[in-house]
């Protein structure tokens, strides 16, 4: 298990002599690996499998709970480790032989380890959930103090952000569009994956096996998509792919003549050499970022008859995120081995679904590495790459260009061609026939019914759309995910999420981010009052925030203030003239907005508890609360946003001041006095 945890304990940025020392160790590791391949010292004839399971932690309102360190302290077990965010957690399964009942052993251990997390989390009044992107995750959850205070993470964040020179830009377009910017690596924490490891049986054929793994990324991802939303936006079937690539992209955004590869990437060509060529490309294309400080002399270790750890090579490799990663490790028997790590699959929807995805990939890997030679001569690499992104965007509806130029649609192609090949491969690998039938049957049912995790989420959201707010729908989605995961049934058997499953609605713990409207119409202080009047009339709104060009909140204009101004303007005129002025039909003066806006405001943060926001509105007798983060307006809350939950909160509360009828939450405007 050191292969998946050791690199997370390292620290130290590389500069000057330290960089040169680390680079020498890295080059020595490469030479040692070349010698090991030449001398046939790698373990052969064994196919072992393993897995890394990432997850989110949520509170009882189904929002991100930054409690990972407390959970790990109570678990006190090397199978568990941190991920980037304090609301993330990772567990690692032990290596298993693929032959026999290896898949079942993998599922059993993953289930046992996950059950321990559930029990421990419950002691802290939180819950784990298996999902690629947590639907209720908000931008405010990505603040830097929610990053695990691990020297490696902090160093990587500092070095990579400095290399980029500015914030990270996210732009993903699906059914909705997301455009966002952040000042740290924390966008990466939005992702949770299920990573499958396969030890190759013939190290000298690693290049061929790796090419087959590249070919299979697209259909394997298509069957397992489970991340269709981010910040409430409906994006790709597997949004993690675009998000992870952009969240770790430290290339400067300025245009350059030369091409530069991102640190998260599919690849640019088939691997025609050995595994060493992948690591050489890593060295030549990507700068080293961190060091361990205790690198060995790998060649000297070989001379002594020992097996080197290749610490420098493995550490550098751990900061480059290929969707198929080449891995070096040392087995428990002391022999070195090579692995392919499949990194594209998301966490969830259930452990049995994840192991079924692994079975599909492992069966295809076993069969095609034995029966398909020279893939580079029968398929353009760009087609394999295009297939992968098509699968990420469209899932089972994706169109692929396959071997020999065959044009296929993912769903029927997987059912008719690939599932039989996967079955043959599992048989070839000696996998128990009943286990193979069970896991591939789960994939078959999911593909046949088009009922992947991402489809289940989108269908559930569509079903709830007209019955509650967007935030309530996302909350219900997480609640239903946890409830159905606890049944152990695969996702193809799940019924859609229901709005009433969001029982956090009655808990009083939810945040205002669940209800706030982020589609805010604003004006600037120099704009004429006529614009505000028209805006209120067109959009049927009563509050318009005033911001400067940087988005900083300066004030708020209310319908009462506009009407007061228009009334004074129309003094001596008819009632009809006043009404026309209020509707923007009359001619008004060019008085700037700054003359009538309210400057002293009661505001809240997106993380403010709903109950606290309602208390503020009642205490100050106001009907609008600007939601502000870092001085900038991000949303607007009105009493209408809370009316749907007011009765539940009032009935539940033991606070005397809240024992009022729901209609009493209709307050005055922000005071003009």
* Per-residue confidence (pLDDT) for residue 654, from 0 to 100: 43
Q: With a cut of 80, say whether residue 670 has pLDDT above it.
A: no
Listed by start position, the domains of the chain span 2-449, 512-665
Q: What is the mean pLDDT of the chain?
A: 86
Q: With a cut of 60, say whether residue 208 has pLDDT above it.
A: yes
| Count of beta carbons in the 10 Å neighbourhood of residue 433 | 11
* Per-residue confidence (pLDDT) for residue 644, from 0 to 100: 56
The answer to which of 204-208, 237-241, 257-261, 275-279 has the lowest mean pLDDT is 257-261
Distance CA 289, CA 56 (A): 27
Q: With a cut of 50, say whether residue 673 has pLDDT above it.
A: no
Q: Please name the residue that has the structure tokens 């270790």.
A: 301
In degrees to the nearest 10, what's the CA dihedral of 141, 146, 151, 154? 40
Instruction: Give which of 261, 259, 278, 263 is closest to 211, Cα–Cα.
Output: 278
* Per-residue confidence (pLDDT) for residue 274, from 0 to 100: 92
Q: Average pLDDT for residues 254-270, to the nearest whole number?
A: 70
* Per-residue confidence (pLDDT) for residue 539, from 0 to 100: 84
In what helix (H) or strand (E) does residue 8 lie, and over which residues does it extend? Answer: none
Question: How many angstroms separate the Cα of 507 from the Cα of each of 137, 501, 649?
Answer: 18, 12, 8
Q: Please, which pLDDT band fits residue 589 given cuts at 50, 70 and 90?
A: low
Q: Please, which pLDDT band fits residue 164 given cuts at 50, 70 and 90?
A: low
Q: Please, which pLDDT band fits residue 468 given cuts at 50, 70 and 90?
A: confident
Q: Please, which pLDDT band fits residue 428 given cuts at 50, 70 and 90?
A: very high
Q: Are 454 and 237 in contact (CB under 8 A)?
A: yes
Helix (H, G, I), strand (E, B) or coil at 90: strand
Q: May I ask the CATH architecture of the domain 512-665? A: Roll (3.10)
Q: Beta partners for 197?
A: 50, 341
Q: Counting Cβ atoms within 10 Å, is residue 372 exposed (0-12), middle (13-18) or buried (19+)?
A: middle
The answer to which of 169-178, 277-286, 329-338, 559-568 has the lowest mean pLDDT is 559-568
* Per-residue confidence (pLDDT) for residue 572, from 0 to 100: 52
Q: Is the dihedral of CA 628, 632, 634, 635 positive or negative?
A: positive
Question: How many angstroms separate the Cα of 358 from the Cα of each of 139, 266, 285?
Answer: 32, 19, 30
Q: Please, which pLDDT band fits residue 403 given cuts at 50, 70 and 90?
A: very high
Q: What is the DSSP string of 286-324?
A: S---B--S----HHHHHHTT-----HHHHHHHTT-EESE
Please name the residues in contact with 425: beta carbons below 8 A apart, sequence gap of 6 or more.
362, 363, 364, 365, 366, 367, 368
The answer to which of 71-75, 150-154, 276-280, 604-608 has the lowest mean pLDDT is 150-154
Distance CA 492, CA 456 (A): 8
Residues of the chain above pLDDT 90, percent:
60
Q: With a cut of 80, say whether residue 349 has pLDDT above it.
A: yes
pTM of the model: 0.82
Q: Beta partners for 5?
A: none
Phi, psi of 399 (to 5 degrees): -105, 130
CATH number for 2-449 (one of 3.20.20.80, 3.90.1150.10, 3.30.930.10, 3.30.590.20): it is 3.30.590.20
Q: With a cut of 60, say whether residue 220 has pLDDT above it.
A: yes
Q: With a cut of 50, say whether residue 339 has pLDDT above it.
A: yes
Q: With a cut of 70, say whether residue 259 has pLDDT above it.
A: no
The answer to which of 308-322, 334-348, 460-474, 510-524 has the lowest mean pLDDT is 510-524
Q: With a cut of 60, say whether residue 655 has pLDDT above it.
A: no
Pick the more confident residue, 283 or 103.
103
- Provide the H-helix boundaries in 196-274: 206-223, 240-247
Q: Extract the tokens encoding 258.
A: 């030369």
Interstrand relation of 168-173 and 80-81 (parallel, antiparallel or unpaired): unpaired
* Per-residue confidence (pLDDT) for residue 212, from 0 to 100: 97
């Amino acid at each position: 298990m050191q292969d998946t945890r050791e690199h997370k304990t390292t620290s130290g940025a590389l500069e000057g002599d330290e960089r040169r020392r680390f680079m020498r160790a890295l080059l020595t590791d490469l030479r040692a690996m070349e010698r090991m391949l030449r001398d046939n010292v790698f373990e052969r004839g064994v196919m072992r499998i393993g897995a890394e399971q990432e997850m989110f932690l949520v509170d009882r309102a189904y929002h991100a709970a930054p409690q990972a360190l407390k959970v790990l302290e109570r678990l006190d077990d090397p199978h568990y480790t941190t991920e980037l965010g304090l609301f993330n957690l990772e567990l690692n399964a032990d290596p298993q032989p693929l032959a026999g009942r290896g898949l079942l052993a993998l599922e059993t251990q993953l289930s046992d380890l996950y059950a321990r997390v559930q029990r421990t989390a419950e002691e802290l009044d939180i819950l784990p959930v298996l999902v690629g992107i947590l639907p209720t995750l908000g931008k405010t959850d990505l603040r830097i103090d929610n990053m695990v205070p691990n020297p490696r993470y902090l160093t990587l964040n500092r070095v990579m952000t400095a290399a980029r020179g500015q914030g990270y830009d996210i732009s993903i377009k699906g059914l909705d569009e997301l455009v966002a910017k952040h000042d740290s690596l924390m966008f990466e924490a939005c992702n949770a994956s299920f990573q499958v490891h396969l030890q190759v049986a013939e190290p000298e054929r690693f290049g061929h096996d790796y090419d087959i793994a590249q070919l299979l990324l697209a259909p394997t991802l298509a069957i397992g998509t489970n991340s269709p939303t981010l910040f409430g936006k409906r994006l790709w079937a597997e949004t993690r792919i675009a998000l992870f690539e952009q969240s770790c992209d430290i290339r400067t955004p300025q245009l350059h003549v030369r091409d530069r590869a991102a640190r998260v990437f599919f690849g640019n060509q088939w691997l025609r050499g050995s595994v060493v060529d992948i690591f050489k490309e890593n060295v030549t294309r990507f700068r080293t970022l961190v060091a361990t400080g205790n690198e060995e002399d790998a060649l000297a270790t070989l001379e002594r008859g020992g097996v080197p750890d290749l610490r420098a090579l493995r550490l550098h490799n751990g900061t480059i995120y290929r969707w198929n990663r080449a891995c070096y490790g040392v087995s428990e028997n002391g022999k070195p081995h090579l692995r392919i790590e499949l990194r594209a699959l998301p966490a969830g929807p259930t452990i049995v679904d994840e192991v079924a995805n692994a079975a599909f990939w492992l069966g295809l890997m076993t069969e095609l590495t034995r029966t398909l030679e020279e893939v580079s001569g029968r398929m353009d690499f760009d087609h394999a790459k295009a297939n992968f992104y098509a699968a990420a965007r469209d899932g089972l509806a994706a169109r692929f260009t396959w071997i020999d130029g065959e044009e296929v649609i993912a769903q029927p192609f997987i059912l008719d061609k690939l599932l039989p090949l996967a079955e043959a491969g599992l048989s070839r690998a000696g996998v128990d026939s009943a286990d193979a039938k069970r896991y591939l049957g789960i994939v078959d049912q999911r593909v046949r019914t088009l009922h992947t995790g991402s489809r289940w989420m989108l269908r559930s959201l569509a079903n709830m759309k007209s019955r509650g707010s967007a935030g309530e729908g996302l909350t219900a989605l997480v609640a239903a995910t946890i409830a159905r995961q606890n049944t152990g049934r695969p996702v193809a058997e799940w019924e859609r999420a229901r709005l009433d499953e969001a029982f956090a609605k009655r808990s009083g713990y939810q945040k205002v981010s669940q209800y706030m409207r982020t589609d805010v119409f604003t004006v600037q202080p120099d704009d004429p009052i006529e614009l505000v009047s028209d805006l209120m009339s067109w959009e049927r709104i009563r509050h318009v925030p005033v911001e400067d060009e940087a988005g900083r909140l300066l004030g708020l204009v209310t319908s009462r203030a506009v009407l007061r101004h228009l009334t004074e303007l129309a003094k001596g005129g008819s009632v009809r003239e006043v009404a026309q002025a209020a509707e923007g039909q009359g001619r008004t003066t060019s008085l700037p907005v700054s003359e009538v806006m309210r400057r002293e405001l009661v505001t809240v943060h997106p993380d403010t508890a709903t109950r606290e926001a309602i208390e503020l509105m009642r205490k100050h007798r106001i009907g609008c609360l600007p939601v502000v983060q870092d001085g900038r307006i991000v949303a607007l809350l009105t009493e209408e946003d809370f009316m749907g939950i007011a009765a539940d909160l009032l009935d539940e509360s033991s606070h005397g001041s809240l024992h009022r009828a729901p209609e009493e939450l209709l307050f005055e405007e922000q005071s003009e006095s």
